[in-house]
Structure 1
Amino acid sequence: MTHPVDPHLVQLRARVDQHFGAAVDRSPEAFTCRLGCDRCCHQRFSVFEVEAAPLRDALTTLEAHDPALRQRIRAQAVDEALPHCALLIDGRCAVYEQRPLICRSHGLPIAVADEQDPEALRLDHCPLNFSEPGADIPRQSILVLDAINRPLAVLAELRAPRAPRVEISDLAK
């Protein structure tokens, strides 16, 4: 049985997706993000329970509609030597529509708090994007990561107070 996704999470996802779309529209030549580009997925992730619930539902649906694919995900989830997300199958996310916010923000130029000076922001982006010499990153394309992480943390706390983060590989088992 699937459960409705938190409407605030849906809204936050939509805003990040819109931001991403607008950034690509502004600088289409600067983005290499496309189907099969999975470099950002080559790490292990954890999520708050508010994002784990829709992933569980997506995996349950997958079990009913494509048990072979669901079994491949399980096999990857238990393979601790695997260097990428357990949900990455053949270069694409098996539950793309329910992917977490961290995945939705990958590829965007992001501003994160500088570890040395928390009042300052440090710009980061995928080395494959904006890689041409002299490529300028439009200011309005930069996603301030705290603008996503703070409301997500509030949603997480409201949904499951003090709950630990959930490893995606654990969800995928």
Structure 2
Amino acid sequence: MEFKEVFEKYEALVAEVDKAFNKIAEQTDGGIKCGKGCSDCCHALFDLTLVEAVYLNHKFNEKYSGMERSDIMQKADVADRQVHKIKRRAFKASQAGSSATEILREVSLARVRCPLLNKDDLCAVYESRPLTCRIYGVPMNIGGEAHSCQKSGFAPGKSYPTMNMDTLQSKLMELSEELAASVNSSLRELPEVLVPASMALLTDYTPEYLGANTGEKVEKPAPAKAPSEACSTCNEDKSACATCNYSVELGAAPKQ
């Protein structure tokens, strides 16, 4: 299956995210410590949206074959089993009455080596890596709370330019809806599916898997809007920048 139009929109979003990352790096006076060989983010536990998973799967299969592909797939199988165990423990903790905060804290401390991380601690698909991998080094606003890589040089209590993850996630969901609509999927919840990178590699995204339907047409969602030139974090024009919550304090909720 071809997803040329959706992939082009995803790549445009990637370009905007890279631009925002570079802009934040320029404004943080050495706060971002990312460098070649640092693989801290390659052991973090996170999920990919549908569009990211299909795109990563496509680029991986395009680049690798033979023994190289087989070796990575074996590592993906091992990693996916580890992720499943972690999520299973989180589910049991939830059933036992643990708070969401406690569960999220435990999951955030989990370490699983990404199957795409090679023996030299370099990404096997670096140019096609997911958005979370691209922005890991900068401060992030997630649900009104500030987060940052522990290896970066950002100090608690200080304000820094920050990536709005909620906005970014919304854009990824919109693109996932477009991807599902492009195959006229009969699976209504398909755009909401989230999977780790290991599962994205292992999955065979066939028409059957995606619920492709040649029958009745599914209403196509409105195209995702590209970020504005204002600061690459939203769809608003520059007039909204004065009231935009662009900077947050690490360790504190953003000022309203």
Q: Normalization by structure 2: what TM-score?
A: 0.56
The sequence identity of aligned pairs, in percent, is 27
**Alpha carbons of 1:135 and 1:166: their partners in 2 closer, same or farther (altered >3 Å)?**
closer
Of 142, 158, 165, the match for 1:145: 165
Give the aligned CA root-mean-square deviation in angstroms.
2.5
Residue in 2 that maps onto 1:118: none
Residue in 2 that maps onto 1:94: 124
Tell me which of the two structures has the higher relative contact order, counting C-alpha pairs closer than 8 angstroms and 6 or more residues apart. Answer: 1
1:137 CA displacement: 4.3
How many pairs are equivalent? 161
- Hey, what's the Cα distance between the residues in 2 that align with 1:111 and 1:53? 26
Residue in 2 that maps onto 1:32: 33
Consecutive unaligned residues in structure 1, runs of 5 or more: 114-120
Q: Normalization by structure 1: what TM-score?
A: 0.79
Residue in 2 that maps onto 1:70: 69
1:70 CA displacement: 2.2
1:129 CA displacement: 1.1
Of 152, 168, 171, the match for 2:197: 168
Contact 2:3–2:179 under 8 Å retained in 1: no
Contact 1:2–1:57 under 8 Å retained in 2: no
Contact 1:63–1:70 under 8 Å retained in 2: yes
Contact 1:20–1:108 under 8 Å retained in 2: yes
Which structure 2 residues correspond to residues 47-58 of structure 1 after superposition, within 5 A? 47-58=48-59
Of 113, 136, 148, the match for 1:125: 148
For residues 20-46 of structure 1, what are the alpha-carbon distances to aligned partners after superposition, in whole Å with 9 as ceiling and x for unaligned? 111122235221101111111113443
1:3 CA displacement: 5.2
1:62 CA displacement: 2.3
- Hey, what's the Cα distance between the residues in 2 that align with 1:20 and 1:136? 18
- Hey, what's the Cα distance between the residues in 1 that align with 2:157 and 2:19? 22
Consecutive unaligned residues in structure 2, runs of 5 or more: 83-110, 181-187, 203-256
- Hey, what's the Cα distance between the residues in 1 that align with 2:198 and 2:127? 18
